[in-house]
Amino acid sequence: MNLFYTSLQLKGFPISEARVAFKSIQESCKINVLNYQEERAWQIFKHHLSSNAAYASWIGNRKISTWHDIPIMTKSSIQVDVAQRLSAGYTPKNTHLHNTSGSSGTPFFFAKDKFCHALSWALIEHRFGLHDITFGKDLQARFYGIPLSKWKYRKEKLKDSVAARVRFPVFDLSDKVLANYVMKFRKHNFSYVNGYTSSLVLMAKYCIQQKITLKEICPSLKAVFTTSEVCDALDKKMIEQGFGVKAVNEYGAAELDLIGFEDAAGNFLLTHETQFIEIVDDEDKPTQPGQEGRVIITSLYNKAMPFIRYELGDRLVLKKEQYNAYQLIDRIVGRTNDIAFLPSGKKSPGLTFYYISKSLLEGGGFMKEFVIKQKSLSHFHFEYVAHRDVLEDEIQKVVHAMDTYLEPGLTATFERKEKIERTTAGKLKQFFSDINEEARQ
């Protein structure tokens, strides 16, 4: 029995129904994927236009005669209270309510109806199955962060137990910690690894330095799945050398679905079953394969909240060739964060700052955008866009979180700004390190 999927069913997520629907969707896509996506996209648009007062008001008197007449949504345009953005019949209590990780620097809360959320898990189950992994049953080594407050920590550990995961917290990736992680691989029969790219690269480098591979000491290991940050060719080579198994790119967004996923042959499949994905230029015109563009996504099944022509904030390039009915991703531009180096010698991925900053995010609409810059081994500077200044008690919460997740003795300053500069790729990079290699020693 797969305890994870059973738990979803018990919580009211119709996973059995979603699995059947997902197979039917795939059959429709095989017949004519463009017709399927066009029909579903117009259906979900008309649903929200008639059922969501906030979305109808935002559309206003615009004349919508073609799909490209529908305006593009941005994250900032929906950073208001969740209850104001739900369609008729949906409430925070009868939906899946969550918030984005803030790894992009633009956090917000969102909701999915229960069937849509179950369909997301059916998609995940299918994609991992391409690598002979039974998601929720085969044991996962999870290189992620974890909330450290007592109640949230216990809740996350319970979820790990139900989902057959062993957590490898990434807040401290010093050699001493990585040595202990190697010992865990000796004791458990892991089938796969899932985690932040930067953390997995550090683990791989350590293994290479020790002249070992994790496959040698954990023969059951089949694959490593990288997420949250771009895994380029060099990262992939490093991970495969240190882990001794293939590295697989996973690309997704919490508020949507898996957006891209590599199959066993290395084809980076662009999801078409649950989303309509457009790649457009800076004038909102569709790009041609081989050209870089902005990622615009319509969630085809989320009836609770509209994500219609929603700009994710990433840029990517599609390949000219296709695989079956799938478009193929050539490369994703952006989604990288630096590593934080601390006075004690500790190393921690930039995504740790999601957990540090979460106290500022939980208000829902207060913090619009933020970035963190490491100015020295012990000092971090927060730049943020908000409708008010950060309060002193909020600053103290962040400093306390830095003590908890990183180490005591670090300092922080805050600067409110009108806007935050993007990278050359147009991406809002959440964490930068301004210190040079010499200062890290």
- Are 214 and 270 part of one and the same domain? yes
- Are 401 and 308 part of one and the same domain? no
Beta strands 411-416 and 379-386: pairing type? Answer: parallel
CA distances from 320 to 35, 115, 250, 325 (A): 20, 34, 20, 13
Give exposure, 252-276, as e/b (b: 16+ Cβ within 10 Å). bbebbbbbbbbbeeebbbbbbbbbb
Specify which residues 143 forms β-bridges with. 195
How far apart are the C-alpha atoms of 266 and 258, rounded to whole Å? 16
- Are 212 and 283 part of one and the same domain? yes
How far apart are the C-alpha atoms of 414 and 356, rounded to whole Å? 14
How far apart are the C-alpha atoms of 16 and 11, rounded to whole Å? 13
How far apart are the C-alpha atoms of 368 and 361, rounded to whole Å? 9
How far apart are the C-alpha atoms of 190 and 185, rounded to whole Å? 7
Looking at residue 426, its pLDDT comes to 40
Looking at residue 372, its pLDDT comes to 87
Helix (H) or strand (E) holding 298: strand 292-299
**Residue pair 62/69 in contact by the 8 Å Cβ criterion:** yes
- Are 47 and 65 part of one and the same domain? yes
Boundary-marking domain end, from 333, 364, 379: 333
- Are 297 and 432 part of one and the same domain? no
Q: Which tokens go with 428?
A: 């809002």
How far apart are the C-alpha atoms of 194 and 265, rounded to whole Å? 19
Looking at residue 264, its pLDDT comes to 95
Helix (H) or strand (E) holding 300: none
**Residue pair 260/268 in contact by the 8 Å Cβ criterion:** yes
Q: How would you class 354 by CB atoms within 10 Å of its CB: exposed for 0-12, middle for 13-18, buried for 19 or more?
A: buried
Residue of 312, 308, 304 whose CA lies nearest to 111:
304
- Are 178 and 96 part of one and the same domain? yes
**Residue pair 156/146 in contact by the 8 Å Cβ criterion:** yes
- Are 53 and 140 part of one and the same domain? yes
CA-based angle 184:8:52, to the nearest 5?
125
Beta strands in 164-245 (DSSP E): 165-167, 192-196, 223-227
For position 376, which CATH number holds?
3.30.300.30
Helix (H) or strand (E) holding 432: strand 431-433
Boundary-marking domain end, from 303, 333, 363: 333
For position 286, which CATH number holds?
3.40.50.12780
pTM: 0.80
- Are 219 and 350 part of one and the same domain? no
- Are 216 and 313 part of one and the same domain? yes
- Are 174 and 256 part of one and the same domain? yes
Looking at residue 204, its pLDDT comes to 92
How far apart are the C-alpha atoms of 106 and 260, rounded to whole Å? 21
Boundary-marking domain end, from 270, 301, 333: 333
Beta strands 268-270 and 275-280: pairing type? Answer: unpaired
Q: How many CB atoms lie within 10 A of CB 97?
A: 16
**Residue pair 324/263 in contact by the 8 Å Cβ criterion:** no
- Are 279 and 381 part of one and the same domain? no
Residue ranges in the chain whose pLDDT is less than 50: 103-105, 364, 424-427, 437-439
Number of domains forming the structure of the chain:
2
CA distances from 276 to 28, 300, 304, 329 (A): 14, 7, 17, 14
DSSP state of 267: -
Give the residue carrying structure tokens 């563009």: 293
Is 22 in a helix, a strand, or coil? helix
DSSP state of 343: T
- Are 51 and 188 part of one and the same domain? yes
Beta strands 379-386 and 367-374: pairing type? Answer: antiparallel
Domain that holds residue 269: 3-333
Specify which residues 412 forms β-bridges with. 380
